[in-house]
A and B are shown apart, each in its own frame.
Chain A
Amino acid sequence: METNAARENQDLGVTAAPHHYPYVVEDGPEGDRVGRFLEAFAAVLEFTDYKPLLASYCTSSAKCNRCAVSCPVFLTTGSPRDIPCYRTNILLEIYKRYFTIGGWMSSRFGNSFELTEAVIDDIADTFYRCTACRRCTQECPMGVDHGLITRLGRYVLSLIGIVPKALRVSVREQLEGETHNTSKVPKKALVHTLEFLSEEMEDLLGVELEFPVDKPDREFVFFCAVSDYLMEPETLMGNAAVLHAAGDWDRWTIGTGNYDGINYGLFYSDWHLESIIKQLTAEVTRLNGKQLLIGECGHASRSARQFVPVFGGADTYPVVNFMEYTLDCLRKGKIELDPDIVTERVTYHDPCNISRSGWIVEQPREILRAFVKDFVDMTPRGTHNYCCGGGGGLVSVDEIHDFRMEVGGRVKAEQIRATGADIVIAPCANCKKQLKELVEHYELPCRVMGLHDLILKAIVIPGAKTPRERQEEAELLAM
């Protein structure tokens, strides 16, 4: 098989320039990348369980192209290299050619596929044009999981040093740095932020609350995307307001040993995925907590939910997403939301990592319908939603900002515009960042916020300011 990059270069009569990546790569590989790629792939096949899957996909992939029309990237570009099946096939061809007898025998006849430097360049580019949203998998009659293959391709690339620097630097700080979190927030800064949030909540709600830090034996140990402590105070205050109103203030804690739910390992490395999960479970064990309570973040929720049971060993704990907790409180009558505060039109964006599997689809909608007068859904929605365009870690890579805006997020922007919504709820740190940029790029007439930002406006706190009083205060301040 000949890749697009190779073909284009041949057409131009030039050899593909090696070491070209669409993102910044720190200490990229020099010399024989082909040999190193195959060595890394061999090691992955040796120590993991991907072989049966690859063997099955190699033999039976139907190449029906249904994945193409379900991929928001292909729908925008129409380019063959953005067909999920095409991308998957590159890795399958490498597997077949170099790791199966049939592939070796085929290579003895005619001009068969060869892994070249140009193919490596193509993989490094193509595998980071996928947002790993896994929408295509739903429409594949065979169920070929292109998201899993994309991740595997990225994993092998990362083992030869090809990985966006933005992801690598974050993971390095999380696993080897002093702060153990992706945003390099020191423990002292976390404590100061929590004190600031306490003061803000006192001003806003009229209640005195001290955030629980390193409290042992609590039911919930809270992890959010650590960037929320810096950039999304209203989401965190919304979380805190629910815990307080529900009478669960003494049932949760934030640990200072580890307070970052972000796990970029989910996007490109089994090694890092496992190490980060172990940091989370170690913190819960240290505090003798009972459950992990994950804030508004899609990939943090999915990685914890899916991989704490896999990698936790003896330290396995239940994982609860904050929206599940809030809905439980609402259903039990532990919290009350004023239905007269939010009058704007609101829509909800499903983060792929929690909705694609069907895990969290109706819960946030049930919460929103309880207090939002004008809620509209996007089409399609839920398990069939479109990715925001920043999934799979792409949102953290600034160098591909234009791709995220013009290609990855175009379909989502059109979807949002069609709803006519004033507010887009996106309960995910990554989706929120991407959608805020999309709103600015496409000049969409709406705001993007987390679910608990909106809840913070409408939640009734017994013995404190009413939502109406808070709203009037905010309007006065805005004047």
Chain B
Amino acid sequence: MEKMIELARGPFFAFSIGVMLLGLLRLVFLQVYGLARGKGGRLRNAPWRKILGEAATWAFPFPHFIKGTRLFSSASFIFHIGVIVVPLLLDDHVVLWERLLGANLPSIGRGVADVLTLTTLVCLLALLAFRMFSARHRAVSQPMDYWLLVLIILPFGSGFMAAHPAWNPFSWNVVMLTHLLSAEFLFLLVPTTKLAHVVLFAFDRISEIHWQLRPGAGARIAEALFGSGAKV
């Protein structure tokens, strides 16, 4: 079991992070390439300041707490804080990052990490409950929307239990292995699931650029479908 944990901490971890980064890099490349090839000079016409300004409002989304979605949005926002901060800055994780990337990140205290982990878990359960019990949320939810929530609960829950043996009814080794493997499985999923919004967020937001339509495209489509001299 210890050997498995060591493998999960070492090569598996490196592999999953590598796949995630390469996958995300691929997505970014495809977006940048697609935009540069498709839009070219028209990118200059895009209202960049407005795009960046709107994106910035989501870092502190208080103006976006609108009626009808306050609970869901609060849970989602708070969950994002934990899901970013704890994997990166918990002292045990900082050691892993240093070993893998040589990065020397500042660490947060165990107490802060505990609070963030527990609030993240509560928020995850709340989001899952919304998707299960609200007809409006069910209508737009697909299987992966549920699975991802469960898959994120796993590393957070097991991580908390591993850090607090008093709360852990299972063997520490089993819990730690679950923690590592479930987290690594999530890393592998990032580029192909909606978790990819970690980078695609930036490209989703630039729809104003996509209103810079390609000149002549409409006529070419009409000609391809209806032949030359197509009528309205």
> What residues of chain B lie closer than 8 Å to A309, measured between beta carbons?
45
Residue B205 CB within 8 A of the other chain: yes
In whole angstroms, how far apart are the Cα atoms of A176 and B122 in the complex? 62
Residue B147 CB within 8 A of the other chain: no
Chain A contact-residue range equals 35 or more
Q: Tell whether A50 pairs with B215 under 8 Å between CB atoms, given A62-B194, A144-B204.
A: no
> What residues of chain A lie closer than 8 Å to B210, measured between beta carbons?
49-50, 53, 145, 148
Q: Tell whether A47 pairs with B220 under 8 Å between CB atoms, given A52-B38, A142-B201.
A: yes
User: In the complex, which residue of chain B has the Cβ closest to the Cβ of A160?
Assistant: B225
Other than A139-B66, A143-B206, give 7 A-B pairs with Cβ distance below 8 A: A47-B217, A49-B35, A53-B203, A59-B193, A60-B194, A60-B200, A80-B140
Residue B42 CB within 8 A of the other chain: yes
Choose among A59, A65, A311 the residue that contacts B69 (Cβ–Cβ < 8 A): A65
In whole angstroms, how far apart are the Cα atoms of A275 and B203 in the complex? 29
> What residues of chain B lie closer than 8 Å to A56, measured between beta carbons?
31, 200, 203-204
Q: List 22 A-B contacts (CB under 8 A).
A: A40-B221, A46-B221, A47-B214, A47-B220, A47-B221, A48-B214, A48-B217, A50-B210, A52-B35, A59-B197, A60-B201, A63-B145, A65-B72, A69-B68, A70-B66, A83-B140, A86-B140, A89-B140, A143-B54, A148-B207, A175-B232, A275-B219
In whole angstroms, how far apart are the Cα atoms of A86 and B135 in the complex? 13
In whole angstroms, how far apart are the Cα atoms of A68 and B58 in the complex? 18
Choose among B64, B76, B232 the residue that contacts A168 (Cβ–Cβ < 8 A): B232
Residue A51 CB within 8 A of the other chain: yes
CB of B42 within 8 A of CB of A44, answer no
Residue A288 CB within 8 A of the other chain: no
Interface centre among A57, A138, A271 (most CB of B within 10 A): A271
CB of A53 within 8 A of CB of B218, answer no
Residue B137 CB within 8 A of the other chain: yes
In whole angstroms, how far apart are the Cα atoms of A55 and B220 in the complex? 23
CB B229 to nearest CB in A, in angstroms, measures 11
CB of A141 within 8 A of CB of B140, answer no
Residue B101 CB within 8 A of the other chain: no
CB A314 to nearest CB in B, in angstroms, measures 12
Residue A410 CB within 8 A of the other chain: no
User: In the complex, which residue of chain B has the Cβ closest to the Cβ of A68?
Assistant: B136
Residue A202 CB within 8 A of the other chain: no
Residue B110 CB within 8 A of the other chain: no
Q: Tell whether A49 pairs with B38 under 8 Å between CB atoms, given A60-B200, A143-B207.
A: yes
Choose among B66, B137, B192, B221 the residue that contacts A48 (Cβ–Cβ < 8 A): B221
Residue B85 CB within 8 A of the other chain: no
In whole angstroms, how far apart are the Cα atoms of A473 and B47 in the complex? 48
Chain B contacts to A: CB under 8 angstroms: 27, 30-31, 34-35, 38-39, 42, 45, 47, 50, 54-55, 58, 61, 64, 66-69, 72-73, 76, 134-137, 139-142, 145, 192-194, 196-197, 200-201, 203-207, 210-222, 224-225, 231-232
CB of B201 within 8 A of CB of A51, answer no
Residue A272 CB within 8 A of the other chain: yes
In whole angstroms, how far apart are the Cα atoms of A85 and B225 in the complex? 29
CB of A40 within 8 A of CB of B225, answer yes
In whole angstroms, how far apart are the Cα atoms of A84 and B34 in the complex? 26
In whole angstroms, how far apart are the Cα atoms of A311 and B224 in the complex? 20
In whole angstroms, how far apart are the Cα atoms of A311 and B45 in the complex? 12
User: In the complex, which residue of chain B has the Cβ closest to the Cβ of A302?
Assistant: B211
Residue A31 CB within 8 A of the other chain: no
Choose among A78, A85, A102 the residue that contacts B192 (Cβ–Cβ < 8 A): A102
Residue A274 CB within 8 A of the other chain: yes
> What residues of chain B lie closer than 8 Å to A15, measured between beta carbons?
none
CB of B140 within 8 A of CB of A270, answer no
Choose among A83, A271, A310 the residue that contacts B219 (Cβ–Cβ < 8 A): A271
In whole angstroms, how far apart are the Cα atoms of A70 and B64 in the complex? 10
CB of B232 within 8 A of CB of A66, answer no
Residue A203 CB within 8 A of the other chain: no
User: In the complex, which residue of chain B has the Cβ closest to the Cβ of A93?
Assistant: B142
CB of B213 within 8 A of CB of A83, answer no
Residue A237 CB within 8 A of the other chain: no
CB B200 to nearest CB in A, in angstroms, measures 4
CB of B200 within 8 A of CB of A143, answer no
CB of B213 within 8 A of CB of A176, answer no
User: In the complex, which residue of chain A has the Cβ closest to the Cβ of B47?
Assistant: A357
> What residues of chain A lie closer than 8 Å to B197, measured between beta carbons?
59-60, 62, 142
Q: Tell whether A141 pairs with B61 under 8 Å between CB atoms, given A43-B221, A271-B221.
A: yes
Choose among B67, B194, B205, B232 the residue that contacts A143 (Cβ–Cβ < 8 A): B205
CB B61 to nearest CB in A, in angstroms, measures 7
CB B59 to nearest CB in A, in angstroms, measures 11
> What residues of chain B lie closer than 8 Å to A270, measured between beta carbons?
213-214, 217-218, 221
